[in-house]
Amino acid sequence: MENKNYKFWFATGSQDLYGDECLANVAAHAKQMVAELNASGRLPFEIVWKPTLIDNATIRQTFADANNDPECAGVITWMHTFSPAKSWILGLSEYRKPLLHLHTQFNEEIPYDTIDMDFMNENQSAHGDREYGHIVTRMGIERKVIMGHWADAKVQDRIASWMRTAIGIMESSHIRVCRVADNMRNVAVTEGDKVEAQIKFGWEIDAYPVNEIVKYVEDVSKGDVDALTQEYYDKYDILLEGRNEKEFREHVAVQAQIELGFEKFLTEKNYQAIVTHFGDLGALKQLPGLAIQRLMEKGYGFGAEGDWKTAAMVRLMKVMTAGKKDAKGTSFMEDYTYNLVPGKEGILQAHMLEVCPTISDGPIGIKVCPLSMGDREDPARLVFTAKEGPAIATSLIDLGDRFRLIINEVDVKKTDKPMPKLPVATAFWTPKPNLQTGAESWIYAGGAHHTAFTYDLSTEQMADWAAAMGIEVVYIDADTTIRGLRNELRWNEIAFRK
């Protein structure tokens, strides 16, 4: 996964009421801020300074240029002086990319000894940003507001976080999900309105007969399969557990062949996410396990049992976190079983096979074990446990009349003991605010058993993305109470009524 060469524009608002000297200072200040923000090392994308916006024509032109520049992922606006907001109406009404209102000012401290009216007129963000903010609110434009001194590391980190949200907004419409077969029969929560998903999120979701992708698997050369199988053997621990060595390797090679065939199919047809279904495998010899785990590691989205919503969400999160320093991982996940021992409460997370190795902590092994579901040979899979630490689990559900994104903050922990007989990768987490309230809230909100899980994005980032998509978002975090949540769900029924 690599970032596109996205940039963010820095547009400073002012007017010509205070003379050329003031405007020269405004431009110099903004240039210095942009240079220092870029030099901070805290931002994942470059900021580009734009000439000061002082009237209707320049504002409209700048936003139009931003719309038309494929490398521009958003505009950061800031009013250094007062900037009459009617001048912004036309430009804003035509603008269609992410918008950040950085509510800051050039100086950190009031210059007590020298401050006069000239200084006040030149440095009146507290005043000008309110005028500007009013028009954005009145026009109903979704934007992010970040307040604080621009040189403060905490403010810079929030700008950095918003940039990743903006990438999610920009890139959502480039997500194409390949459905291998249909959803699992009779399952409700993994279903949804694919037309509405394309309208809201831009996702293209197409189905293929299983054997169309199987052809690509069968066409992979033996040399390529052998080479990738050897790569697996070099990279992962081989956990034979009494199985015949030759037979084990043959089983692993089947997954190598699936990985190569699937990837060729997805690349050729331009898909960035995939779903499979254990009950509809056509001529595949094994349920894709290790193969899907590797594809997720490479940045593909995945959802099991036909779950295209989660597949798209996993891909979205992979895109939003691409290139993040010290990233801890993003995966498809499933709630499986509880530990209800007081003080040690949590949910064991896994799937039949398909957990992304980016979340692994320590060595990764390969096992070959029978699968109780389906009717194919024993699939090879990567096994590991997940890193500890704070993370989020998200579920995008279709309520029939709208989408709802549920975001639960969780603490990933180690289980008390290893689980030597469990042949799948696992995570174990305690949802916030605690297992009882977290799980009750999740169920009241209608959250799925599948989640898109990441250590590398915050609730705020995903909620801002959801707001930009115009969908409902429900937080389950340290502040959640059942009474508050149930009221919120009730009010949202009205807020999102069509």
The partner residues of 47 in beta bridges, in order of sequence, read 8
In angstroms, give the least distance from the CB of 450 to Mn ion. Answer: 6
For Mn ion, the closer CB: 91 or 288: 288
Tell which residue, 288, 314, 269, 252, has the closest CA to residue 448: 314
Buried b (16+ CB within 10 A) or exposed e, 145-166: ebebebeeeebbebbbbbbbbb
From the CB of residue 132, how many other CB atoms can be counted at a distance below 10 Å?
A: 24
For Mn ion, the closer CB: 122 or 334: 334
In angstroms, give the least distance from the CB of 79 to Mn ion. Answer: 50
Do 246 and 336 meet the contact criterion of CB atoms below 8 Å apart?
Answer: no
In angstroms, give the least distance from the CB of 235 to Mn ion. Answer: 26
For Mn ion, the closer CB: 305 or 398: 305
In angstroms, give the least distance from the CB of 323 to Mn ion. Answer: 30
For Mn ion, the closer CB: 168 or 423: 423
Dihedral of CA 247/252/253/257: which sign?
positive
Q: Write the binding mask 293 to 312 for Mn ion: x where contact by CB under 5 A, - elsewhere.
A: -----------xx-------
Q: Interface residues for Mn ion in 359-418 (CB under 5 A)?
A: none
411 to each of 389, 418, 454, 459, how far by Cα in Å? 6, 18, 11, 13
Half-sphere exposure of 118 (CA within 13 A, CB side): 7
274 by DSSP, 3-state: which? strand
For Mn ion, the closer CB: 332 or 428: 332
361 by DSSP, 3-state: which? strand
In angstroms, give the least distance from the CB of 214 to Mn ion. Answer: 22
Check binding of 435 to Mn ion (CB under 5 A).
Answer: no
For Mn ion, the closer CB: 259 or 305: 305
For Mn ion, the closer CB: 284 or 304: 304
Q: Write the binding mask 152 to 181 for Mn ion: x where contact by CB under 5 A, - elsewhere.
A: ------------------------------
Q: Interface residues for Mn ion in 12-31 (CB under 5 A)?
A: none
Distance between CA atoms of residues 175 and 201, nearest Å: 9
Task: Look up residue 284 and give its DSSP letter.
Answer: -
For Mn ion, the closer CB: 334 or 378: 334
Which stretch in 35-43, 82-90, 316-324, 328-336 sits in contact with Mn ion by CB under 5 A?
328-336
Which stretch in 102-110, 331-339, 407-415, 420-428 sits in contact with Mn ion by CB under 5 A?
331-339
Do 181 and 207 meet the contact criterion of CB atoms below 8 Å apart?
Answer: yes
In angstroms, give the least distance from the CB of 187 to Mn ion. Answer: 9
Number of chain residues interacting with Mn ion (CB under 5 A) = 3
Do 401 and 416 meet the contact criterion of CB atoms below 8 Å apart?
Answer: no
Do 228 and 256 meet the contact criterion of CB atoms below 8 Å apart?
Answer: yes
In angstroms, give the least distance from the CB of 278 to Mn ion. Answer: 9
In angstroms, give the least distance from the CB of 369 to Mn ion. Answer: 17
Which stretch in 147-155, 164-172, 220-228, 327-335 sits in contact with Mn ion by CB under 5 A?
327-335
Starting at the edge strand that comes first in sequence, how are the strands of the sheet with 7-13 ordered?
46-49, 7-13, 72-79, 99-103, 144-147
Write the DSSP assignment of 212-241 as a string of letters.
HHHHHHHTS-HHHHHHHHHHHHHHSEE--T
Half-sphere exposure of 338 (CA within 13 A, CB side): 12
In angstroms, give the least distance from the CB of 33 to Mn ion. Answer: 48
For Mn ion, the closer CB: 311 or 410: 311
In angstroms, give the least distance from the CB of 354 to Mn ion. Answer: 9
Of all residues in this chain, which one has the CB nearest to Mn ion in the complex? 304
Cβ-count burial of 104 within 10 angstroms (0-12 exposed, 13-18 middle, 19+ buried)?
buried
- Percentages helix, strand, coil for the chain (3-state, rounded to 5) are 40, 25, 35
**Residues whose CB falls within 8 Å of the CB of residue 425, separated by 6 or more in sequence, listed in order:** 293, 350, 355, 357, 360, 381, 382, 383, 384, 385, 386
Which stretch in 281-289, 316-324, 332-340, 413-421 sits in contact with Mn ion by CB under 5 A?
332-340
In angstroms, give the least distance from the CB of 352 to Mn ion. Answer: 7
- Measure the CA angle with vertex 380, ends 378 and 381; round to 5°: 130
For Mn ion, the closer CB: 158 or 277: 277
For Mn ion, the closer CB: 304 or 445: 304
For Mn ion, the closer CB: 277 or 432: 277
In angstroms, give the least distance from the CB of 303 to Mn ion. Answer: 8
- List interacting residues with Mn ion (CB under 5 A): 304-305, 334
